[in-house]
Amino acid sequence: EFILLGLSDTRELQVLFFTFFFLAYAMVLLGNLLIIVTVRTDPKLSSPMYFLLCNLSFLDICCTSVTSPRMLVDLLSQRKAIAFEDCIAQLFFLHFVGASEMFLLTVMAYDRYAAICKPLHYTAIMSRQVCWVLVSACWAGGFLHSIVQTLLTIQLPFCGPNTIDNYFCDVPPVIRLACTDIYVTEWLMASNSGLISLVCFLVLVTSYTFILVTIRVRFTEGHWKALSTCASHVMVVTLFFVPCIFIYLRPFSAFPSDKHICVIYTVFSPVMNPLIYTLRNNEVKAPMQKLWKRCR
């Protein structure tokens, strides 16, 4: 088994963290479930953008559910132990869902590029069949990435220290405990996770560059509305990708644990998604209000 050190060993801080992260987890569940129900029940929200948003909300729920429940339990526990099998399972699902979300955010950027830069061909480019293929490819890519990370981890021998300086099992802190030279393994993992994060981020930046160039030429109200949507997307992308690139695109053993940075993409990013996509989007807020009135 492994021992998770968590975010703090001070009892008062643990209670404070529990309250904060419990509220954050509740917001993630309620906010993203509300988006899913609203998109699924309102026929006006049938465009590819909202189909992808619905999938993003589901991935956010899965991503935060991999780490938050365990973290909340450990914050109230004296001994934060996790079995080796449970640790590997958490690592697998975290990278599975996390990589799938990276690919999906890239697809959402491509969707905005097609809608703004090629509006006449948008319905053909982003048909419902194409959307399903792209979403399926995101899940398949996430699965393949996670399988590679997991296989590289479980083949390592663990026979010495068992203390993980984090609040969940992730590749960098786990492989540091291996009783062997991990130089080759950590570079293979960094080239996998790190390059995926970096390449997806560069594709996103390229998409937004084309969008900004297009909007600079066409000053119409519709394009400025689309730009507002892209600005919200950029906020989510920044919260999610920058910490991942910082953590995974480097040799793990040469740097200390970054558990406080991990909070950004495991907790804050899933919390921000429903706020950004609802409070800044009247097309979603209006159906939500109707849904709320029907439920009262």
Task: Give tens-digit pLDDT for 169-216.
Answer: 888 888 888 888 888 888 888 788 888 888 988 988 888 888 877 776
Indicate if the pLDDT at residue 104 is higher than 90. Answer: yes
Q: How confident is the model at residue 254 (pLDDT cuts 50, 70, 90)?
A: low
Q: Is the pTM of this model over 0.85?
A: yes
Note the pLDDT tens digit of each residue in 20-51: 999 999 999 988 888 888 888 877 778 888 89
Query: Average per-residue pLDDT in the chain?
Result: 83
Amino acid identity for residue 41 in this structure: T
Please give the Cα distance from 249 to 245 (Å, whole number): 5
Q: How confident is the model at residue 131 (pLDDT cuts 50, 70, 90)?
A: very high
Q: What is the pLDDT of residue 227?
A: 63
Note the pLDDT tens digit of each residue in 60-102: 999 999 999 999 998 888 888 899 999 999 999 999 999 999 9
Indicate if the pLDDT at residue 141 is higher than 90. Answer: yes
High-pLDDT (> 90) share of the chain, %: 22
How many CB atoms sit inside 10 A of residue 160's CB?
Answer: 8
CA atoms within 13 A on the CB side of 147: 6
Indicate if the pLDDT at residue 275 is higher than 60. Answer: yes
Encoded tokens for 4: 């998770």
Amino acid identity for residue 13 in this structure: L
Please give the Cα distance from 278 to 285 (Å, whole number): 6
Residues 29/37, Cβ–Cβ less than 8 Å: no
Q: In this predicted structure, which of 130-144, 147-161, 182-196, 243-257 has the lowest mean pLDDT?
A: 243-257
Please give the class, per CATH, of domain 2-295. Answer: mainly alpha
SS3 179: coil
Handedness of CA 75, 77, 80, 82 (dihedral sign): negative
Query: For residue 18, what is the DSSP state?
Result: H
Please give the Cα distance from 5 to 155 (Å, whole number): 24
Indicate if the pLDDT at residue 237 is higher than 70. Answer: yes
